[in-house]
Structure 1
Amino acid sequence: MTLLEKVKANLILEHSADDELLQLYISASVSYAESYQHLTENYYTDHQMPPTTEQAVIMLSSHFYESRDGSTGGFFSDNVQAGQQVWNTVNLLLRLDRDWKV
C-alpha cells in the first residue's frame, strides 16, 4: 500500500479528486520528517521508512488536509489546542527514528 493510499484510508477518503493535493501534503510531511530527523533531503526516496516515521507522515499529511481551510479538523477537533496536539504526537513519533548526531 502506498503512502497516498494509507493517508486516504486514514482520512476515510474514497474519491481521487484530491489525490494531487494529498501528494503535495505527503511530500511536505516527508520533507519535514527528514529535516526533523537530521537526514539528507530525499533520504526516504532511497531508504525504507520506519513504521513510526510512516505513521507520523500519515498523521501530518492528514492534518494538513483537514486543516487546509484554517480549522483544526480531525481527531482532536474538540480541543482548542488541537493543532499543537497533532504536532506533539508527530514529533514524538519522529523522535524515535531521529539521527541524534550533532
Structure 2
Amino acid sequence: MNTLLEKVKANLILSHNEDDILLQGYITAAVSYAESYQHLKEGHYSNNIMPPTTEQAVIMLSSHFYESRDGSTGGFFSDNVQAGQQVWNTVNLLLRIDRDWKV
C-alpha cells in the first residue's frame, strides 16, 4: 500500500473502485491545501517526498471530504456538530509541523 489513493481507501475501509476518480479529486484538493498551508509552491509534493505528518493530514482531509460530500459531518462523527471543525483543527496541527516558517 504505497499510493495516497490506497491509503485513503484503507482509512475509509473501502474495498471497491467505483469512487476512485472522486477520491483522487479529494486527494488533489487536500494536497493543494497542504501545499498552500505550508507555504510551498503548487505541485511541490509532485516532485518531493511528503513527510509522514503531512501525508496523515492529507489522508484525514481527503477522507473528511469524501464522508462529508453531502454537506453533513459524515462518518462516525455524524452525531457531533463540531466534528467538521475537529477534523480541520487536527489537519492544521499536523500540517503546521512541516510548515515552512521562513516565508
Task: Give the match for residue 63 of structure 2.
Answer: 62
Cα shift at 1:101: 1.6
SS in 1 for 2:71: coil
> TM-score if structure 1 supplies the norm length?
0.97
Alignment of 1:12-91 (within 5 A): 12-91=13-92
C-alpha offsets along residues 8-33 of structure 1, whole Å, 9 cap, x if unaligned?
Answer: 00000000000000000000000000
Runs of 4+ in structure 1 deviating by more than 4 angstroms, as ranges, are none
Task: Give the match for residue 8 of structure 2.
Answer: 7
How high is the sequence identity, in percent, across the aligned residues?
A: 84
Cα shift at 1:92: 0.2
> TM-score if structure 2 supplies the norm length?
0.96
C-alpha offsets along residues 11-68 of structure 1, whole Å, 9 cap, x if unaligned?
Answer: 0000000000000000000000000000000000010000000000000000000000
- Partner letter of residue 17 of structure 1? E
- Partner letter of residue 4 of structure 1? L
- Partner letter of residue 62 of structure 2? S
RMSD between aligned alpha carbons?
A: 0.8
* Contact persistence 1:76–1:85 (CA under 8 A): no
- Unaligned runs of 5+ residues in structure 2 are none
Cα shift at 1:77: 2.9
- Partner letter of residue 92 of structure 1? L
- Partner letter of residue 73 of structure 2? T
SS in 1 for 2:75: coil
SS in 1 for 2:77: coil
SS in 1 for 2:59: helix
Distance 1:96 1:75, change over 3 A: farther
C-alpha distance in structure 2 between counterparts of 1:74 and 1:17, whole Å = 18
SS in 2 for 1:64: helix
